[in-house]
A = this chain, B = another copy of it.
C-alpha cells in the first residue's frame, strides 16, 4: 500500500480513470441485466427464487466494492477491471507509461 500511495495522479489522469470506471461499470451492469433476465426466465421452483436472491446479494456486494475510485486504490481497481475483461489496456492509453506498465503487471498477478 505504501508503494501505491506514492503514485501521483494528475487531474487529467483521474478523469481518464473515472471515464474508464464508468465504462466498465456500465458494461458490467448491462451484462448483469441480461444475466438476471435469463436466470429469471428459468425460475420454476421456490429454491430457484432464493438462489437468484443469493446470486444478487453476492453480485451487489462484489460490485459495491469493485469500483473503488480512491486515488490510492485506482491502480488495483483498474487492473482488476482489466483482469475481469471489463476494461482493455487500450482504454488506458492516455495514462502515463509507468502507470500502464504497473497496471499491466498487476493484471498478471
Contacts and interface: CB of A to CB of B under 8 A. Distances in A.
Interface in A24-66: 29-30, 32-33, 36-37, 39-41, 43-46, 48-50, 52-53, 56-57, 60
A63 to B, nearest CB: 9
Interface residues of A, number: 21
A37 B36 contact: no
Contacts of A50: 60
A56 B52 CA distance: 9
From A37, A43, A49, residue with most partner B Cβ within 10 Å: A49
Interface of A: 29-30, 32-33, 36-37, 39-41, 43-46, 48-50, 52-53, 56-57, 60
